[in-house]
């Protein structure tokens, strides 16, 4: 293995089990992780709602990214740009002209396909008809709307198809209001919208999704080394958050996959149950974006380096990840079933930082003194960690419910607790139990929930 990021590929792991996807989708519905959107009206085409457990997990994915990319660094600043923007932005970025997929219709069955997804251009995969396709038409993926009450062309606006352009058009704002100089980055997390022709595979490809993107601005002669740096960093981020390296690979784009301005792009891919799929792309974009916006807007988006007395347009290295897609990968990677005492235990072995709840407080019975003490224990925990509280059903069933949503620690308050002021802490993966004094509990959990 060399230092070249494209050589980080690992040997092929065992073939994935497609049936596991059905069980995960089922778990998501049953446990309030992800619901099909507008279900009471029959659903709405590949849109999803994140339920009480899912919203916590998705937030944790985004927080984990922000922590690594912004909080723990001094060279990256955050931004939250608008979702709506005028056509000028998308003209400059190239999205109006190029952000499209080639579509063909089958004249026999009237189904529509992405031409670049067809294996055989002479045979319809829907009805089997031969030579039934129309000429390909380019279909722009941006959602178009109108700002204000009049639907006239002057009021046209677009929902952003990526968060990236917000960083480019605010480059000068951020530079002028911070004390940063290249190399430095601007990071953003938020919703993006694409009118995908073939959404699918649960939340892998949806029309509304969340991205986590960094635009890292560098002196032109440092672009190559920063590209390699970010390829490694981003691959490692998924590993550090619990995905086995054997389920990940870094795949460099072939020359014919690269955009004309990109001198290198690598994808971090995850082994989904249906095969390898992209989680994130890391691209060396040159000075294309800032140059385009400078030309179209007339703004000066260059940087003057006082030390070398040179002016240049920074180059951009862009690690662009999907938050919703990553959450799905974390779910799949964590999903496990094992045999315990003749029963199947379903457990999400999520990294603590990604787990929706870090702790669950479980009184052994609903008797008043136990509930009162449990509420006190919960009150100690809640300011530090997201905690669940559950006093229904047998304790074994409650452990299983917490295992299913990946809660790392269950704290059981029993009748002995009233006497010895201690609780039983059960660890999710090993199911090992330990008696811990209540006044040591927060410290005990703090040592483990890092």
CB 227 within 8 A of CB 284: yes
Member of 211, 284, 407, 412 binding ligand GAP (CB under 6 A): 211
Tell which positions 338-377 bind ligand GAP, by CB under 6 A.
Answer: none
As a whole number of angstroms, the distance between CA 338 and CA 404 comes to: 12
Q: Which of the ranges 47-55, 207-215, 339-347, 422-430 carries the binding residues for ligand GAP, by CB under 6 A?
A: 207-215
Cα–Cα distance measured from residue 314 to residue 171, given in angstroms and rounded to the nearest whole number: 10
Q: Does 281 bind ligand GAP (CB under 6 A)?
A: yes
Instruction: Pull the structure tokens for residue 364.
Output: 């052994």
Contact segment (CB under 6 A) with ligand GAP among 99-107, 220-228, 313-321, 377-385 equals 313-321
Query: Distance between CA 314 and CA 438 in Å, rounded?
Result: 55
Q: Residues in contact with ligand GAP, total (CB under 6 A)?
A: 19
Site for ligand GAP contains 292 (CB under 6 A): no
Query: What minimum distance in Å lies between the beta carbon of 144 and ligand GAP?
Result: 17
Choosing from 24, 279, 294, 360, the residue that interacts with ligand GAP (CB under 6 A) is: 279
CB of 174 to ligand GAP, least distance (A): 17
Q: Quick check: 293 binds ligand GAP (CB under 6 A)?
A: no
Closest residue to ligand GAP, Cβ-based?
Answer: 322
Q: Compute CA distances 403 → 6, 216, 300, 324, 400, whole Å.
A: 37, 39, 55, 22, 5
State the minimum distance, in angstroms, from the CB of residue 187 to ligand GAP: 12
Q: Which range in 17-25, 233-241, 279-287, 397-405 contacts ligand GAP by CB under 6 A?
A: 279-287
Bridge partners of 319? 282
Interaction of residue 289 with ligand GAP, rule CB under 6 A: no
Let me know: does 279 contact 256? Beta carbons within 8 Å. Answer: no
Select the span of 76-84, 95-103, 277-285, 437-445 touching ligand GAP (CB under 6 A).
277-285
413 alpha-carbon distance from chain centroid: 36
Q: What sign results for the dihedral spanned by CA atoms 3, 4, 8, 12?
A: negative
In the complex, what is the shortest distance from the CB of residue 254 to ligand GAP, in angstroms, rounded to a whole number? 16
Comparison of 260 and 309: residue with beta carbon closer to ligand GAP = 260
* CB of 270 or CB of 335, closer to ligand GAP: 270
- Out of 194, 241, 293, 428, which residue is the one contacting ligand GAP (CB under 6 A)? 194
Q: What x-and-dash track marks residues 148-187 binding ligand GAP by CB under 6 A? A: --------------x-x-----------------------
The SS3 of residue 396 is helix
Q: Does 8 bind ligand GAP (CB under 6 A)?
A: no
Q: Which is nearer to ligand GAP, 318 or 404 (CB)?
A: 318
Among 205, 247, 249, 398, binds ligand GAP (CB under 6 A): 205
Answer yes or no: are the C-beta atoms of 85 and 293 closer than 8 Å: no
For 223-377, where are the E strands, in sequence order?
Answer: 248-252, 264-272, 275-284, 303-305, 310-312, 315-322, 335-340, 343-348, 359-363
206: contact with ligand GAP by CB under 6 A:
yes
**What CA–CA distances, in Å, run from 173 to 138, 166, 168, 246, 301?**
35, 11, 10, 42, 10
Phi/psi at 53 (nearest 5 deg)? -85, -40
Alpha-carbon distance 212 to 280, whole Å?
Answer: 9
Among 79, 92, 218, 321, interactor with ligand GAP by CB under 6 A: 321
Site map (CB under 6 A) of ligand GAP, residues 229-268, x = contact: ----------------------------------------
Quickly count: other Cβ atoms within 10 Å of residue 56's Cβ.
20
**Cα(46)–Cα(33) distance, integer angstroms:** 16
CA distance 194 to 210: 11
Q: Under the rule (CB under 6 A), what is the footprint of ligand GAP?
A: 162, 164, 194, 196, 205-206, 209, 211, 213, 278-281, 318, 320-322, 324-325
């Amino acid at each position: 293995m060399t230092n070249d990021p494209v050589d980080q590929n690992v040997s092929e792991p065992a073939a994935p089990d497609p049936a596991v996807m059905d069980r995960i989708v089922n778990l998501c519905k049953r446990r309030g992780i992800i619901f099909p959107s507008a279900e009471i009206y029959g659903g709405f085409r590949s849109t999803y709602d994140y339920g009480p457990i899912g919203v916590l997990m998705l937030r944790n994915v985004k927080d984990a990214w922000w922590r690594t990319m912004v909080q723990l660094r001094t060279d990256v600043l955050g931004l939250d740009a608008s979702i709506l923007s005028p056509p000028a932005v998308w003209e400059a970025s190239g999205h109006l002209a190029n952000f499209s997929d080639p579509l063909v219709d089958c004249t026999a069955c009237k189904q529509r396909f992405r031409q670049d997804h067809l294996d055989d251009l002479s045979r319809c995969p829907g009805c089997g008809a031969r030579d039934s396709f129309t000429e390909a038409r380019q279909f722009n993926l941006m959602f178009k709307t109108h700002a204000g009450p009049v639907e006239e062309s002057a009021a046209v606006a677009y929902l952003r198809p990526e968060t990236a352009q917000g960083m480019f058009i605010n480059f000068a704002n951020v530079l002028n209001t911070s004390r940063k100089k290249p190399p430095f980055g601007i990071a953003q997390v938020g919703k993006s919208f694409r009118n995908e022709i073939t959404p699918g595979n649960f939340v892998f490809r949806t029309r509304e999704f969340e991205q986590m993107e960094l635009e890292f601005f560098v002196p032109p002669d440092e672009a190559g080394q920063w590209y390699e740096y970010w390829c490694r960093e981003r691959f490692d981020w998924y590993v550090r958050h619990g995905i086995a390296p054997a389920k990940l690979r870094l795949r460099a784009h072939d020359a014919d996959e690269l955009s004309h301005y990109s001198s290198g792009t690598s994808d971090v891919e995850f082994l989904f149950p249906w095969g390898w799929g992209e989680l994130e792309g890391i691209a060396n974009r040159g000075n294309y974006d800032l140059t385009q916006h400078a030309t179209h807007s007339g703004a000066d988006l260059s940087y003057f380096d006082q030390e070398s007395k040179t002016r240049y347009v920074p180059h951009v290295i862009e690690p662009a990840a999907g938050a919703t897609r990553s959450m799905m990968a974390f779910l799949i990677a964590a999903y496990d079933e094992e045999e315990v005492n003749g029963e199947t235990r379903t457990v999400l072995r999520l990294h603590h930082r990604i787990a929706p709840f870090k702790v669950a407080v479980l009184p052994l019975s609903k008797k008043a003194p136990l509930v009162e003490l449990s509420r006190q224990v919960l009150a100690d925990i809640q300011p530090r960690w997201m905690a669940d509280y559950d006093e229904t059903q047998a304790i074994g069933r409650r452990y299983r419910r917490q295992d299913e949503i990946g809660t790392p620690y269950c704290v059981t308050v029993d009748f002995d607790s009233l006497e010895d002021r201690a609780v039983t802490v059960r660890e999710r993966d090993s199911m090992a139990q330990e008696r811990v004094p209540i006044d040591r509990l927060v410290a005990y959990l703090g040592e483990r929930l890092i």
